[in-house]
Amino acid sequence: MRDEIKKELAKIVGPDRATDAPEHLVTYSFDAYTEEHLPEIVLFPVTTEEVSAIMKVAYREDVPVTPRGGGSNLAGESIPIRGGIVVCLTKMDKILAIDTGSLTATVQPGVVNLDLQKAVEKLGFMYPPDPASWAVATMGGTVATNAGGPRTLKYGVTKDYLLGLTVVLANGDVLKTGGRTLKNVTGYNLTTLLCGSEGTLGIITEIIVRLVPRPLASRTVRADFVKLEDCSDAVSAILAGGIIPASLELMDQFTVRAVEKSFNLGLPVDVEGILLIQVDGGPETLEREVKQIEAVLKEKHAVNIVSAADAAEADRLWLARRSAGTALMRIKPNIVTEDVTVPVSNLTAMIRKVVEICERNGISVGVFAHAGDGNLHPCMVFDRRDEEEYQRVLKACDELVPEALALGGTLSGEHGIGLAKAPFMPLAMDSVALRVMHGIKDYFDPKGILNPGKFV
Amino acid sequence: MFSQAIEQDLHHCRKCGMCQQVCPTYKITRQEYFAPRGRAQIVKHYLEGDLKISPRVEQALMSCMLCDACAAFCPSGVRIDRLFRNMRLELDHIFGKPFSKRILFSALSKSSRAWKASAAARAGQSLLVDTLGLQLKVGNIPIEKLPRPNKKPFRQTTPEKLSPKNKKVGRVAYFVGCATDLIYGDVGNAMLEVLLRLGIEVVVPQDQVCCSAPMFLSGAAKQALPNIFKNLDIFDSVDVDAIVVDCATCGSALKKGIPELLEDLGMDAEKSKRVAAKVKDISQIVAEHVDDLPIQDSCSGEPLSVTYHDPCHLIRGMGVSEEPRKILRSLPGVSLVNMEGANECCGGGGSYQFDNVDLSREITLKKKHNIFATGAKIVATGCPGCRLTLAGNLSDDDCTEVVHTIELVRRSLAKEPE
């Protein structure tokens, strides 16, 4: 990038919010994926107008722009693979309005998900999308990746709560989509189109989301299974029985052993799978649902069922699941958290496949899953400095994806495509779907400057 | 200079970004450059040879408060604090220190110099404020809110050995930090009184010196080592059940920082580990024996509302947080109110508040807000650095007093029988 362009860009936001110092650039060359690439300048706009002015310059000069939030994303969405500008939106961090009368909140993209959760919770409401990274993930990032979380099974993902957006397009135009109404069928649903577009269609600068009342109570049950098949059969049986838990999580033996080794929580290390189930709602319904779930678990040969009597006990049960990623991370320096998703009925088949593929490639893997929605997180642990091992990990990923697709699944449940999954797009979508996607990209971003090198 | 273990640890940072949520400087700046993950990335590039040490590299490392919150929280278990401290040793190697720091270190490396500096400060302070009425600030603290130094160094006012009047139940050595020695002598007196009333004999080795944490945490290992070795010789040879500290920073230095520093420098750390095993914060000893304390049970009127601030070096450096709370709950007439973010850094960070004035101020403001929200009349804490920061930033009209926990214990002691 020419120096005078950098100067022009820096002038838009002021010298305090622009930098091209190498010491600063290295801190914006990565996210939680394994690759790294340096940008040429990092800008921290605080208004839609500033973002628009930045895009006008970038568009005129054909400079690549990678938008970025907290950078906790796992598929490489915020790595500026073609250099250029990183537009970091973390300083646009105001909750602009919470309107409990019409069940909406309006926020800037840099608001951290958990901060919004806390703000609405105080008022008796809940914003359901709750990615595991919610304490650092920004709202802009969660919208751009259509993030989910443990509550997805009952409450859905980000797109299900998104009502409207303000988005700066590649040429600097400001697009407003949707609005503050819960119902809206005016024209194409551009809001949903932009949700999950990973910064390839525009830069989100304002977000309107829907809130729901906070559930009155919740109950947690843990069940241990000798056989993995029984474990996932139980998942299907619970759902078939007409109960939709808020969360229904599974951990395989490797994961449970890793957690036990690191944290000594007293988990059974000889079982093939553990389920954690949380139901929420009114107290009377919960009582009935827990009984019904316990009956199903027994029928599916659970060897041990623990129902938490109170919140503290529930917290202890959930600690095992919350510690899973951490425990796996401590085995080796690096980790790829896969994100393939299959229909719930094929969960066991997919887990078996994952383990078989990783064993064949000599890779250690632990699997935990949002079992209720079929979203698997096989975590492959490795050392990035061992190039040969890293190649084996990538090979295992290559082999995993077709298996998931063959089982009726999808490339990504919630982490997105980014760099990690981009090569697999032709496997997951047919030529017609790809053609339409490229047409949309060409319309929104004719010069291809928005987050280039990513999935489209 | 980096040890292999530390370099290995760096590669365990998987850049997940979870450290952002606990890092006081990231929460203010919202920039990776001020986040543990970003700083680790800078260290990585330095070690790989793509970045040379520059003022910006120095700023990234020196703007870290070393509050240890990231290391305590890191899902991958990366010892980020240790990584940064090692990198600071590297910085010192190349850069040296600014003039103000060199003066500070020169003072801390020799007790007599420290006392002269403190006496000069005492004279200067009263001259500027009392005589000339000037409104000056040191870092973020108005000069009139800086505590007046002791009239005489605390250690010089104390005999080498103090024996309890009643039955002796134990024997401890007292490591007197610079803060107590030069400024907060009352804390030292409270320590001694409480220990003696518990029947504990106290040895106060006279030739002990500064723990050196302010030096080696800033990267000045060369200035720190002679002090460290001197203290280790003294406290390794004294025959006691425990070595007691009233300063969170001294405590965490003796308990954790010094053994790790010596290891990182490839030196023999055996003696430091023997000493470390005996180090206890005063609140640990008092909490253990709180039922044996002769506490006055004459509670009248409204209970005094007290909130407790966890010093970084006490909660994460020494693993002490329940003990002071237990003590406060057991004092009659005191009601303990929890503040939000009690375990978050106060923004002081030793000399940090003088080197990073703006960042420090923002962090302290948050703390101040949380303290006010409790409505407490007193803030108790266990670190003179936090005390200085908090007292210096709480305004006059809110009437919030900041004290060391042990001082509240002393205030509750029953009068000694004649």
Return the pLDDT at B143: 79
DSSP three-state, residue A37: coil
Q: Would you state the pLDDT for residue B128?
A: 65
Pairing of strands B170-175, B141-142: unpaired
Give yes or no for a contact between A367 and A355, defined as CB atoms under 8 angstroms apart: yes
Of B152, B292, B184, nearest in space to B248 by CA: B184
A residues 89-118 closer than 8 Å to B (CB): 90-91, 93, 110, 112, 114
Phi, psi of A152 (to 5 degrees): -55, -40
> A135, B18: Cβ pair inside 8 Å?
yes
Strand, helix or coil at A177? strand
pLDDT digits (tens, 9 = 90+) for B251-281: 999 999 999 999 999 999 999 999 999 999 9
Report chain A residues whose CB lies below 8 A from the CB of B42.
23, 26-27
Query: Residue B17 is nearest to which of A44, A72, A383, comparing CB atoms?
Result: A72
Residue B65 and residue A318 in contact, taking contact as beta carbons nearer than 8 Å: no
Pairing of strands B304-308, B378-381: parallel
Two structure tokens written together for A281 = 């709602």
Q: For chain B, how many residues are written?
A: 418
What are the backbone angles phi and psi of residue A219, rounded to the nearest 5°?
-135, 145
Contact in structure between A256 and A272 (CB atoms under 8 Å): no
Q: Write down the residue that tokens 């590297």 correspond to.
A: B90
C-beta neighbour count of A12 within 10 angstroms: 18
Q: Is A245 within 8 Å of chain B by CB?
A: no
In chain B, residues with a C-beta closer than 8 Å to the C-beta of A110 are 30
pLDDT value at position B397? 66
Return the residue in A26, A36, A108, A259 with the most chain B beta carbons within 10 A, the one to mutate for interface testing. Answer: A26
Residue of A nearest to B10 (CA): A333
Nearest to A340 by CA among A259, A444, A421: A421
C-alpha pair distances (Å), B132 with each of A258, B129, B135, B144: 66, 6, 9, 12
Q: Does residue B286 sit in helix, strand or coil?
A: helix
Short-list B387, B386, B298, B372, CA closest to B337 = B372
CA distance A47 to A43: 12
Question: Which has the closest alpha carbon to A99: A197, A187, A209, A230?
Answer: A209
CB contacts of B30 in chain A (<8 Å) are 44, 90-91, 93, 110
Of A44, A136, A329, the CB nearest to B76: A329
A135 chain-B contacts, CB cut-off 8 A: 18, 21
Taking CB atoms and an 8 Å limit, are A70 and B20 in contact across chains?
yes
ipTM here:
0.94
The predicted-structure confidence for A287-308, as pLDDT tens digits, reads as follows 999 999 999 999 999 999 999 9
The pLDDT, as a whole number, for residue B194 is 96
| Residue B144, CA distances (Å) to B42, B122, B131, B360 in order | 40, 11, 12, 19
Cα distance between residue B34 and residue A63, in whole Å: 27
Q: Are A278 and A392 in contact (CB under 8 A)?
A: no
> For A282-374, where are the E strands, in sequence order?
302-307, 334-337, 364-370
d(CA A384, CA A442): 36
Instruction: DSSP letter for B147, please.
Output: P
Closest to A297 measured CA to CA, from A217, A220, A378:
A220
Residues 305-344 of A with CB under 8 A from B: 325-326, 329-330, 333-335
Question: Can you say whether residue B220 is alpha, beta or left, with left for phi > 0 and alpha for psi between -120 and 50 degrees?
Answer: beta
- Say yes or no to pLDDT of B120 above 90: no
Selection from A417, A362, A54 nearest residue A205 by Cα:
A54
Cβ–Cβ below 8 Å for B50 and A28: no
3-state secondary structure of B292: helix
What's B17's DSSP letter?
-
Helix axes A228-240, A283-299, angle to 10 degrees: 140
Residue B352, both tokens: 């940090």
The per-residue pLDDT for B197 is: 94
Q: How many Å lie between the alpha carbon of B40 and the closest alpha carbon of chain A?
A: 9
Average pLDDT over residues B165-185: 94
Q: Under an 8 A CB cutoff, do A23 and B56 touch?
A: yes
The closest of B60, B88, B39 to B261, measured between CA atoms, is B88
B251 strand-pairing partners:
none
B250 CB-near residues (< 8 Å, 6+ apart): B175, B177, B211, B213
Q: Give the Cβ contact number of residue A366 at 10 Å.
A: 27
Which secondary structure element, helix H or strand E, spans residue A104, and what is its range? strand A104-107
The answer on pLDDT for B105 being more than 80 is no
pLDDT < 50: residue spans in chain A: none
Chain centroid offset of residue B252 CA: 8
Give the B-side interface with A, CB within 8 Å: 11-12, 14-18, 20-21, 30-33, 35, 37-39, 41-42, 45, 50-51, 54, 56-57, 60, 75-77
Q: A9 and A18 in contact (C-beta within 8 Å)?
A: yes
Of A26, A70, A136, the CB nearest to B41: A26
Residue B132, pLDDT score: 65
Q: Residue range B2-7: average pLDDT?
A: 78
B51·A383 Cβ contact <8 A = no
Nearest to B215 by CA among B223, B205, B207, B204: B223
Q: Are A10 and A21 in contact (CB under 8 A)?
A: no
The single residue listed with the structure tokens 């601030």 is B309
Q: How many residues does chain A have?
A: 456
pLDDT in tens, A48-90: 999 999 999 999 999 999 999 999 999 999 999 999 999 999 9
Say how far apart CA A59 and CA A168 lie, in whole Å: 12
Taking each continuous run of H as one helix and of E as one strand, the counts in chain B are 22, 11
pTM of the complete model? 0.93
Say if CB A168 and CB A92 are below 8 A apart.
no
Average pLDDT over residues B69-78: 92
CA-CA distances (angstroms) from residue A179 to A142, A182, A374, B19? 19, 8, 32, 35
Instruction: Find the mean pLDDT for residues B339-361.
Output: 91
At residue A281, the 3 state secondary structure works out as: strand
| C-alpha span between B302 and B377 (Å, rounded) | 12
* pLDDT for res B92: 80
Matching residue, tokens 């003022």: B55
Q: Which of A27, A329, A330 sits opposite B32 (nearest CB)?
A: A27
